[in-house]
Structure 1
Amino acid sequence: MATNDYSDWRLDDAAEDIEVDYSAWETTSKDAIILAIQCSESMHTVREELLKSEDEDEKGKGRGRTSFEIALRSTVELQKRKVVVGPNDSVGIVFWDTVRSFAFSQKQGDYRHMYVYKEVGLITAESIQEQMHLLARAQEKNPTYLRKRFQPSTEHMPISDMLTACNAMLRTGAPKSGTHRIFLLTDEDDPTAGLPADRRIKLLQSARTRAGDTYEKGWNIIPFFISTPEHTFDPSKFWREALSREGEEGGSSTGEGDLVSGFEELLREMQVREIPRRTLFHVPLILAEGITIDIKGYGLVTVQSKGQYKYLADRDGMLKEATVKTTYIDKDDQGEVPKTDIRYALPFGKTWGDEQQDEPMEVDETEEKKPKMRGRRGNILVVEGVPAVTRHEVLFTPERMKELRSMVLEPSIKLLGFKDRGELTFFDNVKHSVFIYPSEDDYTGSTRTFAALLQSLIKKDKIGIALSVTRRGYTPQFVALLPRQEELDSDTGAQLLPPGLHMIPFPFADDIRESAYDQLMQCTEHEKDAALAWINKLTIRAGYDADNYPNPTLRLHYKNLEAAAFNEAFDPSEFEDLTVPNYASIQKRAGKLIEQFKDSVDADKRSAGVVAVATGAKRQADTTVDEAEVRAKHSSGQINKLTVVQLTGFLRGRDIVPSGKRKAELVEQVEQYLSKHG
């Protein structure tokens, strides 16, 4: 492509080439987790129900016989998933309430009764295999092997010291990660039991202070409480208050944690919690002139896909990762074109090639009154009665294109007004919404102001209308701000859904199409009742939880990768697709009702005359032709046997504007191209 000649420049995908600064997103997409597992005497106690499960069920083997072993196996499975899904994430493992101690650093001091099994760092196949070998030795020997290896201490480590050590490890091991979290696994519901009241209060207050320090950094603590048949974990004794956030009372959602008992439960809960809430954007929300608060946007729905593969180059018998680099090449001298010489071009005017669309013939009585086409002259379309318009490209620099795209607006969400809740229709939601939540990073008091706005919208049944630019260089869009009220568990008081605003992008006029449909037959009331009977039987009362039905294609892909990375045997025939309906359960619960529904439909006289007529799909003409075939036709003198559509497609595929509709003109143009390019 000539750097000084823009006559042939086209802009098919200009919008995709606009460079947007993603450096902030790349930083925040990294995740850092510390798995803090309690190593107390109760965690090492052999559980009879787990031993019985191993003896009676082959599947029960290798899942752990103590709570500590269950926790350790779950962390291994979590790392095996993360090494495939998030290879840039960091993980650390610590055991607390152990005899062995670890001095993190001279500045931080000696944290008694804490052993660092794995420093915070990138997950590697070697570190996971080392943990797997440890668990294999524990399985081969007796259940007390891990207890001898990691002996429990006779006194509890203060929770405040444990949290301080975890914070220090996260700060030094993964300082640039976007999310920092502490996964806390314990079966001790009251680590201060038996202590004097004043000592207990002091330990509780210090634990809450350290937890508050963690939350202030934007980090999170996620507890997993392990229950046994003999003892049900009670978070209200200590953890509910110790891990509560500032301003929360005893019913903290953080302090409630997840109550689990076995390996499968713990693994499922950890996999659900493992996915971090990544910030999509962090912008100011302008409520009025001089009134601005700070908010963050979170994606509630995202597309999961297989990981990006990498290119490897063989260098002296060693495979090294190849760096991908995009360059622009001058089509005339084949030299590299610097980015500073790149311009964007938008076509202006018409040429003969723009009139190549095949349109159905119509009889028009006013045909004689239309302007007559007199001919063409290069890139000029000459029409009788219409001034000649030269086709050319209007050039823009990359900076100017960004300005045109974003309309020179800074990233922000500006509130424009309010509407009734009923004004937002189902058809307005054509894209995924974004959940916005207040932040105190830039503007103090944002949470209080945001809460007042949210409660006012809910009370008056209104929605907000705003203008949104979430990132620099993005196109502005009008959005609806739909309020969502906080939902709490009726039994425990734990938070199920946080309060906030759903930001729903409004569609443009051409985003909505009127769908034509025929009038369908209406079923009778008896048929409706028969359908509702089996629908009610099969309805999931607790609601649909997508985390319980992972994508089977991705799961199988990850299982194969894990087997290859860890040299494990994997039989695809044993893979379980959790999205397959449980037909046996369906038949048991609603089989008779479904049969009754079918009978009621078959009894309807209208169903007897309904016949589905298959319509044949019209075969599309093949318009593709490769250069080898064209050259073969040209060499044998049979290029005239190619169709007009094929000749036009060949020229357009090489960025050549066809000079006309006539076959002779297209053949001449193709022959000129073949002669010029050998």
Structure 2
Amino acid sequence: MEIALTCVINFMKSKIICSDRDLIGCVLLGTSQNESSETDFKHVHTLLQLEIPGAKSVIAVEKLKSSYSGSKLGSGFDVSFADAFWVTQNMFSRVTSTLSTKQLFLFTTKEDPHSKNQHLRKATQQKILDLANNSIDVEVLGLAQPDGFFDLSVFWQSSLPQLRDKLTLPDPTVRIKELLFRVTTKEYTSRALSSIKVDLFGKKFAVKVFSFVNIARKPTGVKLDKDSNKEVFSRTETVSGETGEVLMPDEIRFCQKFGVDKISMTKTERDSMKYMATAGITIMGFRSIKSIDFQNFLKSSHFIYPDESSVQGSLVLFQSLLSSCLKQDVFAVCQIITKSGAYPRLAALCPQKEDIQEESGIQIKPPGFHVIYIPYAEDMRDLSFKINQPRPTASEEQVKAAKAVVNKLKFNFDPENFRNPQLARFYAYVEALALEKDAVDEPEDSIDPKADAIDKRLGTVGEEFVRSIGLQPGSGGDGGAKAAGTKRKAETTGRVPPQSSKKVASGVNPAEMRQAAAENKLGKYTVAVLKELCELYQLPTEGKKQNLIETIQEFFRHN
């Protein structure tokens, strides 16, 4: 129970940040409480109704987890899975908005429920079919038994439509990280940007377009009225430069420069210039996969997968094309328009073979095509450089020393192991405020290089490389950079350490700047000069210009 509740808590926190419009509910089985909305099912308790999660929902589950006791919430009752499934289906049916996906994640230790009660067993199987008919996907996340094994094939494989034809089944696990990984993976794989048709030399089939990568950003701040605390909105108006009058849409024209002339046109005339075409993919031909030039990629790729629900037979055609491209080691060149009104782009459809982890049966890579966007002739830039002096060459000793450094610092890189430290810190503070925590859980900076670990792995290899290029270990060279393989001092925070010299920088006049601070005129100095003064008086140099000014003014007021 504690493992499942921890997973629910982290899943809600993730959804609040990543997808704040998703609805989440929570139903408990095997409880002494019998609160299940409008029903009186025994040992089924609705902890959270299906709604957008917030601080209140997270606090409720955290409170239950902290007060969890086996005597109150246990598996000693004869739980009816069919009743629990009925409650969850009823929760979905009461949602008035349109849901793109409906998913039910079942955390259970029972690999063979109702083995001694055939009536409840058949009722559970029938209810799973009812859920599937209502487009509700059920995924069983088995919590391992005391013997450390959860066998899906005993009951759940034959009951869940998506598992019936599987030759290998996922291994159960009680490790929270794996449970969370499965939940987030399951959530995001079913979301498509659009569904479009592919024209394969006259034969058409449908595919869904997915996005694997999208830059994560902090949410935009919402402006509120200081008196009512209600959201305020901005409005944009176009005014005449001569009279200042507000112009209506039909009073506005557009222009395009043609040399020194300005060609005036209406909105209708401007729109007629746009390239109009139907959304879809048109395959132009095929080329060897070895001819792809990675420097010409324009942006993050998309991924396409067959959409059998839009055009029957799409799966067969798609699979035939994918198998042929994989066998012949080629990619398809195509024109793609992802949605109506979008501009056509050139793209390379690079085939990807399905990859399944043998031990767990979890899909690592899905079968399909990566849509890699390539430039038009007008997008290309000539970046050839002419070097008018002899190019320096590295000696055999230097190359050997550099190779040794590279070999020592090789590691298995995976982007999923590195989190954006700025986002992590931002959400940690927001979460602490929302959940009324006394302290902020400072997130770990996963991109901060571990200097001690790097130095330990390098050993003497780093020093040998530094000597090979003519430097002494520990010296910074001309640029002041730290030498590879040398011990680095821990970063200091707060005040800057005392300087070894009291010589004042040329841009700093302490007496003059003290007078400027008294007259509130420090803004006329550059950031570099302000920082020099801060270093002179051992003051913090972090922050923007205004922070430096406030720091200096505060210092002069008390000294």
Contact kept, 8 Å, 2:85 with 2:128, in 1: the verdict is no
Shift of 1:225: 3.0
Higher strand share: 1
Provide, for residues 50-87 of structure 1, a one-character-per-residue CA deviation record: whole Å limited to 9, x for no partner: xxxxxxxxxxxxxxxxxx12322332233234334433
1:154 aligned onto 2:21: no
Q: Which residue of 2 aligns with 1:251?
A: 168
Structure having the higher Rg: 1
After superposition, the Cα gap between the structure-2 partners of 1:223 and 1:394, relative to the gap in structure 1 and judged at 3 Å, is farther
Q: Unpaired segments of 5 or more residues in structure 2?
A: 480-559
After superposition, the Cα gap between the structure-2 partners of 1:463 and 1:441, relative to the gap in structure 1 and judged at 3 Å, is same
Provide, for residues 303-353 of structure 1, a one-character-per-residue CA deviation record: whole Å limited to 9, x for no partner: 000012111124xx4211113333323334434333344433212231xxx
Give the TM-score taking structure 2 as reference length. Answer: 0.74
Provide, for residues 369-428 of structure 1, a one-character-per-residue CA deviation record: whole Å limited to 9, x for no partner: xxxxxxxxxxxxxxxxxxxxxx2323141x5544433x1101111112222222222123
Q: Which residue of 1 aligns with 2:431?
A: 562
1:475 aligned to 320, 332, 343, which one?
A: 343
Q: Unpaired segments of 5 or more residues in structure 1?
A: 1-67, 351-390, 615-678
Q: Report 1:87-102 matches (<5 A).
A: 87-98=20-31, 100-101=33-34
1:308 aligned onto 2:238: no
Shift of 1:586: 3.8
The one-letter code of the counterpart of 2:29 is W
After superposition, the Cα gap between the structure-2 partners of 1:71 and 1:433, relative to the gap in structure 1 and judged at 3 Å, is same
Q: Which residue of 1 aligns with 2:503?
A: none
The one-letter code of the counterpart of 1:226 is L
Shift of 1:475: 1.2
1:521 aligned onto 2:386: no
Shift of 1:444: 1.3
Bigger mean CA deviation after superposition, 408-417 or 489-498: 489-498
1:131 aligned onto 2:61: yes
The one-letter code of the counterpart of 1:394 is S
Shift of 1:94: 1.0
2:141 aligned to 224, 247, 250, which one?
A: 224
After superposition, the Cα gap between the structure-2 partners of 1:446 and 1:124, relative to the gap in structure 1 and judged at 3 Å, is same
Shift of 1:488: 1.2
Shift of 1:246: 7.3
- Structure 1 CA distance for aligned equivalents of residues 332 and 453 of structure 2: 45
Q: Which residue of 2 aligns with 1:278?
A: 191
Q: Per the alignment, in what secondary structure is the counterpart of residue 273 of structure 2? A: helix
- Structure 1 CA distance for aligned equivalents of residues 171 and 219 of structure 2: 31
1:395 aligned onto 2:247: no
2:112 aligned to 190, 196, 202, which one?
A: 190
Shift of 1:479: 0.9
Q: Which residue of 1 aligns with 2:51?
A: 121
Contact kept, 8 Å, 1:181 with 1:221, in 2: the verdict is yes
- Structure 2 CA distance for aligned equivalents of residues 473 and 288 of structure 1: 23
Q: Report 1:8-27 matches (<5 A).
A: none
After superposition, the Cα gap between the structure-2 partners of 1:268 and 1:409, relative to the gap in structure 1 and judged at 3 Å, is closer
Contact kept, 8 Å, 1:241 with 1:249, in 2: the verdict is no
Q: Per the alignment, in what secondary structure is the counterpart of residue 282 of structure 1? A: strand
Shift of 1:558: 0.4
Bigger mean CA deviation after superposition, 423-432 or 576-585: 576-585
Q: Per the alignment, in what secondary structure is the counterpart of residue 71 of structure 1? A: helix
- Structure 2 CA distance for aligned equivalents of residues 237 and 582 of structure 1: 47
- Structure 1 CA distance for aligned equivalents of residues 452 and 339 of structure 2: 50
Query: What RMSD, in angstroms, separates the aligned Cα atoms of the two structures?
Result: 3.6
After superposition, the Cα gap between the structure-2 partners of 1:421 and 1:603, relative to the gap in structure 1 and judged at 3 Å, is closer
Q: Report 1:12-91 matches (<5 A).
A: 68-91=1-24
Provide, for residues 255-309 of structure 1, a one-character-per-residue CA deviation record: whole Å limited to 9, x for no partner: x276233x565456656666565322221112232x2211111111110000121
- Structure 1 CA distance for aligned equivalents of residues 307 and 375 of structure 2: 28
1:292 aligned onto 2:204: yes
- Structure 2 CA distance for aligned equivalents of residues 131 and 522 of structure 1: 62
After superposition, the Cα gap between the structure-2 partners of 1:548 and 1:229, relative to the gap in structure 1 and judged at 3 Å, is farther
Q: Which residue of 2 aligns with 1:487?
A: 355
- Structure 2 CA distance for aligned equivalents of residues 333 and 587 of structure 1: 69
- Structure 2 CA distance for aligned equivalents of residues 229 and 536 of structure 1: 43
Q: Per the alignment, in what secondary structure is the counterpart of residue 448 of structure 1? A: helix
- Structure 2 CA distance for aligned equivalents of residues 546 and 213 of structure 1: 38
Q: Per the alignment, in what secondary structure is the counterpart of residue 154 of structure 1? A: coil
After superposition, the Cα gap between the structure-2 partners of 1:491 and 1:565, relative to the gap in structure 1 and judged at 3 Å, is closer
- Structure 1 CA distance for aligned equivalents of residues 128 and 405 of structure 2: 50
Shift of 1:459: 1.0
Shift of 1:487: 0.5
After superposition, the Cα gap between the structure-2 partners of 1:271 and 1:209, relative to the gap in structure 1 and judged at 3 Å, is closer
Contact kept, 8 Å, 1:313 with 1:320, in 2: the verdict is yes
Q: Which residue of 2 aligns with 1:343?
A: 253
Shift of 1:119: 1.1
Shift of 1:249: 2.5
Q: Per the alignment, in what secondary structure is the counterpart of residue 547 of structure 1? A: helix
After superposition, the Cα gap between the structure-2 partners of 1:563 and 1:494, relative to the gap in structure 1 and judged at 3 Å, is closer
Contact kept, 8 Å, 1:212 with 1:246, in 2: the verdict is no
Q: Which residue of 2 aligns with 1:430?
A: 298
After superposition, the Cα gap between the structure-2 partners of 1:295 and 1:84, relative to the gap in structure 1 and judged at 3 Å, is same
1:549 aligned onto 2:418: yes
- Structure 2 CA distance for aligned equivalents of residues 161 and 440 of structure 1: 33
The one-letter code of the counterpart of 1:437 is Y
Give the TM-score taking structure 1 as reference length. Answer: 0.62
2:316 aligned to 448, 454, 467, which one?
A: 448
Q: Which residue of 2 aligns with 1:404?
A: 273
Q: Report 1:585-596 matches (<5 A).
A: 585-588=453-456, 590-592=457-459, 595-596=460-461
Provide, for residues 172-211 of structure 1, a one-character-per-residue CA deviation record: whole Å limited to 9, x for no partner: 3264233333232223333355567x986x5786476457
